[in-house]
Amino acid sequence: MNIELSKKLKCVIVASLAWCAIASPGSVLAEADWYSFTMDNDTFVGNDNGYTNGMFFTWIDTPDNNKPEVGFLARAMKWSLPDDDSSALEFDIKTIGQTMITPDDIDEDPPILPPDDLPYGGLLFYADTFVRASKKHADRISVTIGVVGEPSLAEESQEFVHGVIDSTEPCCWDDQLDDEIVFQVSRGRAWRSWVSDGGNADLLLTADLALGTISSYAEGGFMVRYGDQIERTYASVLLLGSRTANPLAAQTGWYVFAGMRARYLGNQIFLDGSKSYDDDFDEIDYEEDTIGYTVGLAYSWKEWSLTFAMNDLNADSDDDAEEYTEFGTFTLAWRGY
């Protein structure tokens, strides 16, 4: 692609995502009730390859001040929500994020290409999410649009971070996945199926379905939690996969959690490649049926919330995609004013 055209395309993509972020009702940053910053990184689990980094900024409207509205993009999935429940809590959640993957050896030039290793790839996206939580179950709808390739700015991000920490300079982003507009729609539900007599422990069951060019999957799972003041936060289990924070915890409290899920993965753009990628691209060898786990801690106090989790989304496998599925997640959330 012509260099000048590529630069113009980057500007158009970034501007378009920014417009989506501020154009929908209730999404203006200054009016948000909560904000959060999340970082995924494989260095939390002792690696610096595969799923190397993800950064996500989120703003959330809660029912504390007014009734949140379903966002512009999420309206496409509103039909799937059950009838409105006047007693339910509703949350409008917007996220701008970037994720990237690299081969095992970012020094090697030319790089080892798929199927023998992961490709260089980046994703820049905007996600529009709406959550409705009643006493015993919670529903989530979400629509995501984004871009892979040069407009994702993954190369610039990794080079900046590695320059700051004086780490190995990645050599071969010229071989990254080609430019492509991507999307995903998803629908999830969580049930608070058991609560201890003291109310400090519970069992959550989850089901999730996603379709799109970013990835498509069907999954079910469970999570066990123990802590203080956990009743209002159970719907946050629906947000772990979207890398948003624990915005549903609006009071002081803490809990530890551990969960497992079984997933059937239909497609994943980092593993299957973008549609316009090199004709010689061979798909990464990965298992479609996977078992994953997450363990972590969430702590909220006054106007702040911290969450840390360790994730292995393919714990029962040693296939070529294993490095993509192991990472840690750190989230800091704060209340808006």
Higher-pLDDT residue of 330 and 9 is: 330
For the four alpha carbons of 20, 21, 26 and 31, in that order, the dihedral sign comes to negative
Torsion angle (degrees, nearest 10) of CA 323, 181, 157, 130: -80
Confidence of residue 259 (pLDDT cuts 50, 70, 90): very high
C-alpha span between 148 and 13 (Å, rounded): 10
The predicted model gives 76-104 an average pLDDT of 87
Confidence of residue 301 (pLDDT cuts 50, 70, 90): confident
Domains and CATH numbers, the chain: 3-335 (2.40.128.140)
Question: Quick check: 297 pLDDT over 80?
Answer: yes
Residues in contact with 198: Cβ distance below 8 Å, sequence separation at least 6, in sequence order: none
Structure tokens at 273: 């490649």
C-alpha span between 135 and 149 (Å, rounded): 43
- 330, β-bridge pairs: 39, 308
pTM of the model: 0.85
Q: pLDDT tens, 145-187?
A: 999 999 999 888 877 776 666 666 777 788 888 899 999 999 9
Confidence of residue 103 (pLDDT cuts 50, 70, 90): confident
Residues in contact with 333: Cβ distance below 8 Å, sequence separation at least 6, in sequence order: 34, 35, 36, 37, 58, 245, 246, 247, 304, 305, 306, 307
Question: Quick check: 11 pLDDT over 90?
Answer: no
The burial of 306, by beta-carbon neighbours within 10 Å (0-12 exposed, 13-18 middle, 19 or more buried), is given as: middle
